[in-house]
Structure 1
Amino acid sequence: MITDPRRQVPRTDALLADPALAAAGERLGRALVKGAVQAVQQRIRDGELPPEAAVDAVLAVLPATAGSLRPVLNATGVLVHTNLGRAPLSPAAVEAVVAAAGTTDVELDLATGRRGPRGEAALAALVEAVPAAEAALVVNNCAAALALVATALGGDLVIARGELVEIGDGFRIPELLAATGARLREVGTTNRVTLADYRAALGPGTGAVLKVHPSNFVVRGFTRSVEVAELAPALAGTGVPLVADVGSGLLAPDPVLPEEPDLQSTLAAGADLVLASGDKLLGGPQAGLVLGRAELVQRLRRHPLYRALRVDKTTLAALEATLRGPLPPVRAMLAADLDGLRARARALADRLAGAGLDARAVDSEARVGGGGAPEHPLPSAAVSLPPSFAEPLRLGRPPVVGYVDGDRTLLDLRSVPPADDEALAAAVLEVGLRGD
């Protein structure tokens, strides 16, 4: 007699009742586990798996969480990698997010039982970190901060032509500003603008003068720009605010990145408002930071658009913990010692070579990423592997994303926290020993 192979496939209800899969269902949701069960059942029908391997096969394909985002080991050497979620949160920020995920006092004054100011502690932490600021505001990203400024201040926005930049994925500053209804008053040329150009553009309808740091490119040669310190005195007494979008979220000057603008210095030089991203060099969650004169910050806060752009409780919690807690990962990566990076690369390469893999330690160049410091490479160290490792590492569990340079796959360690070296080695060994 020929047995119908379909009779050998474990029933869905029987698999879902297995204790291990039932526990997974409580953690991940029954629908997600059922989908994995059905996929494994099809593999059994196709003859790829024996029926007795069904439970283990389902457990092997289940995600770590009910969400689809997967943790990735970033070995690209790009510290703030937009495609990999930019800044990884610090353990302190993660703990703060978990604590804030439930019912919290985000807008309740527990002492009085009445409504309290939203995010007061996070905003206070920002102002403490940037003493030149009188007040602060947080929205959901830096583009949102720019849109809020353009909408709330209104009128003509005076901006140099060389600062009408594209900020990534096809989004352009002039189109973003025009979408708010603002009127752009472009001054200067692509490569040169003078103080006289700005002065000539001012009029009764001027809402603000806007400076945008062209963080993802550099223009060299016959150029001229007007810095905040030169522009601010020229605007004194005009009533026209000077707004500077510095981009990367550097709070104060950093000797590692001497050319990168920071919030404290820009305000001290005379800007009325500064805008920046919280998820770049600050090392926190995605957020748009607005700091500066209290009267202008309050004007933005009271605008109806702010309600649509404000951040949630978990972002406020992560931001405060980033500002008050220990050094966030991006800052630690930026400050990493080259000798230490080389020692890690040698240790990893020796371990992999000892297992028979073609691995060696090499010097490399890392990057800030996220549009920051485009001409400032960071000396680093990497583990060099054959080019065939790139794809299977990227498809592994956990995924490891490196880059191919010439005929080698490089895993740059400046963007990998030292605590992840063991996981990195295990991922490479799994690929190498199975012969991918």
Structure 2
Amino acid sequence: MTVSVSSQLNAARPADLPAIDKLLQHGKTAALVAEYGQTLVTTQLRQLMDELRQKALAGQLTHAELAHEPLLTGLAARLSEVTASKLKTVINLTGTVLHTNLGRALLPDSAVQAVVKVLTQATNLEFDLDTGRRGDRDSLVEDLICELTGAEAATVVNNNAAAVLLMLNALAAQREVIVSRGELVEIGGSFRIPDIMTSAGSTLVEVGTTNRTHYADYERALGERTAMIMKVHCSNYAVVGFTKTTGINELVRLGRERRVPVTVDLGSGTLVDLTQWGLPHEPTVRETLATGVDLVTFSGDKLLGGPQAGFIVGRKSLIDIIKKHPLKRALRTGKLTMAALEAVLSLYLSPERLPERLTTLHLLTRARSDIQAQAGQLQPVLQQALGRDFTVTAEPMLSQIGSGAMPVESLPSFGLVIHYSGTDKAGKQIMQLERRLRCQAEPVIGRIHKNALYLDCRCLTAEQAQRLHTLWSNQGV
């Protein structure tokens, strides 16, 4: 780009930049130092001046930019940006309750209070109060897990992938694990069962085909190097049509005959029968263990409704081996997770009260009439905020559970559908609107489908709805 002679004459030079020491003595800077500290303010001020110096060398800096007011306003903006948290709360209007990208399960109040308490005080995380000696952190929740699942023993790590990795590494390193080809799932983020097996040092033995695996396939694959038969619950997809799977009961019988442990990765495991609240059936951990399998792994932050964690439950002799494995320490959970887990698991002792106490179950069982009422209240406000170029309608829609749970099932819901009705390209305008909502001070996350923006209100709380109502009424979108 060519710079005119007059522009060059009017441009500020590097020598025109004010001294940093003088800027630090300014009253507005002193206020910033009081808020952010001397070190951070000085660092950001130097970076700002370096950027302005480069502009001056390029002949693009004006004298107006060097006035104290715009300089210090820019400094304040930089400090606010650099100290702002990258982890923000968002309003989930995607229609997916357990959204992996948005943090999955929301913790109930009892779990939040438990976490707050252990954040500020010393705890008996690994201290046995009865003996006065070092304890096992699993003991904080193991009795609860065993009571709720019927397991002999249990251990906890930081997620279900870690649970599978630890189980395989402790029990099947340098040996073979038999899995049906139809169960070699990818669990999100490109983490695949075969890759986890490789990382664990186990040799994967695939049996059957993608759509049909028979008892005889497992039987033929058993050998001297077989350490485990592993069944993976296909929670994030479904194979339909000409299919055949081998039931867990059959595999348990085979495993006992050949003295090979049978394990099940339930993925997004649940502790209660969800059909009692009108939700689709999902095999519970207790049901699975009752078949006689040796170990079951499952997540804590999916259908269970707790913090991110992975459980291994089942036969005590195998759990004891797993607990002594070096990886257990590397994958263990911290005190915040243990506090939240204990609080969430305790809610299951009174299952009849779960829908009102467990946030995840409350969201999954919300009456569509309540969701429809929320959408109806927001529709005219958003319509007025968007103007004539957009059409906002309150419509029925289908939510999903998410995080790989019941992929073919849906939940009746209600929300707002936004179409562009102006003269520009609809797809472009809808994408821009989605970005505007996503970049609000409190981001709103919806989903685009067929050149329309869908805002499903299933996960919208009363407080969030009120904030959106006020924002859209006063400031627009």
Which TM-score bucket, shorter chain as reference?
0.7 to 0.9
2:76 is paired with a residue whose SS is: helix
Structure 1 residue 136, shift from structure 2 partner: 1.2
Q: 2:216 — aligned with what?
A: 196
Query: Contact conserved, 1:159 with 1:184, CA < 8 A, in 2?
Result: yes
- 1:42-81: per-residue Cα shift (whole Å, max 9, x none)? 89x8768996585698379736976421111111111111
Q: 2:373 — aligned with what?
A: 343
1:25 to 32, 36, 39: 36
- 1:352-380: per-residue Cα shift (whole Å, max 9, x none)? 44667553311111111111111112111
56-65 vs 191-200, which moves further: 56-65
1:151 is paired with a residue whose SS is: helix
Q: 2:359 — aligned with what?
A: 329
Decide whether aligned partners of structure 1 residues 34 and 317 sit closer, same or farther in structure 2, where only a CA change above 3 A counts: farther
63-72 vs 410-419, which moves further: 63-72
- Give the ranges of 4+ consecutive aligned residues of structure 1 lying more than 6 Å apart after TM superposition: 2-5, 36-43, 45-50, 63-66
Following the alignment from structure 1 to structure 2, what is the Cα–Cα distance between the partners of residues 206 and 424? 58
Query: Contact conserved, 1:384 with 1:409, CA < 8 A, in 2?
Result: yes
Following the alignment from structure 1 to structure 2, what is the Cα–Cα distance between the partners of residues 144 and 270? 23
Decide whether aligned partners of structure 1 residues 410 and 127 sit closer, same or farther in structure 2, where only a CA change above 3 A counts: same
Q: 2:23 — aligned with what?
A: 11
Structure 1 residue 223, shift from structure 2 partner: 0.6
1:89 to 101, 107, 125: 107
Q: How many residues align?
A: 426
Decide whether aligned partners of structure 1 residues 57 and 11 sit closer, same or farther in structure 2, where only a CA change above 3 A counts: closer
Following the alignment from structure 1 to structure 2, what is the Cα–Cα distance between the partners of residues 152 and 431? 57
Which entry has the higher C-alpha Rg, 1 or 2? 2
1:376 to 386, 409, 419: 409
Q: 1:150 — aligned with what?
A: 168
Structure 1 residue 139, shift from structure 2 partner: 0.7
Decide whether aligned partners of structure 1 residues 123 and 424 sit closer, same or farther in structure 2, where only a CA change above 3 A counts: farther
With the length of structure 1 as denominator, give the TM-score of the two structures. 0.86
Decide whether aligned partners of structure 1 residues 222 and 192 sit closer, same or farther in structure 2, where only a CA change above 3 A counts: same
Structure 1 residue 99, shift from structure 2 partner: 2.0
181-190 vs 89-98, which moves further: 89-98
414-423 vs 376-385, which moves further: 414-423
Give yes or no for the alignment of 1:392 onto 2:412. Answer: no
Report 1:94-113 matches (<5 A): 94-102=112-120, 103-113=122-132
Q: 1:402 — aligned with what?
A: 446
Structure 1 residue 247, shift from structure 2 partner: 0.6
RMSD: 3.3
Following the alignment from structure 1 to structure 2, what is the Cα–Cα distance between the partners of residues 410 and 323? 34
1:250 is paired with a residue whose SS is: coil
Q: 1:413 — aligned with what?
A: 457
Specify the code of the residue in structure 2 equivalent to 1:231.
L
107-116 vs 308-317, which moves further: 107-116
Structure 1 residue 408, shift from structure 2 partner: 2.7
Following the alignment from structure 1 to structure 2, what is the Cα–Cα distance between the partners of residues 319 and 412? 29
Structure 1 residue 421, shift from structure 2 partner: 1.4
- 1:163-209: per-residue Cα shift (whole Å, max 9, x none)? 11222222221121022211222211111111122122223322111
Following the alignment from structure 1 to structure 2, what is the Cα–Cα distance between the partners of residues 376 and 146? 26
Specify the code of the residue in structure 2 equivalent to 1:274.
V
Give yes or no for the alignment of 1:207 onto 2:230. Answer: no
Q: 1:280 — aligned with what?
A: 302
Specify the code of the residue in structure 2 equivalent to 1:193.
T
Q: Which has the higher helix share?
A: 2
* Seq. identity, %: 38
Decide whether aligned partners of structure 1 residues 40 and 191 sit closer, same or farther in structure 2, where only a CA change above 3 A counts: farther
Following the alignment from structure 1 to structure 2, what is the Cα–Cα distance between the partners of residues 32 and 390? 35
- 1:89-111: per-residue Cα shift (whole Å, max 9, x none)? 22322222222224322111345
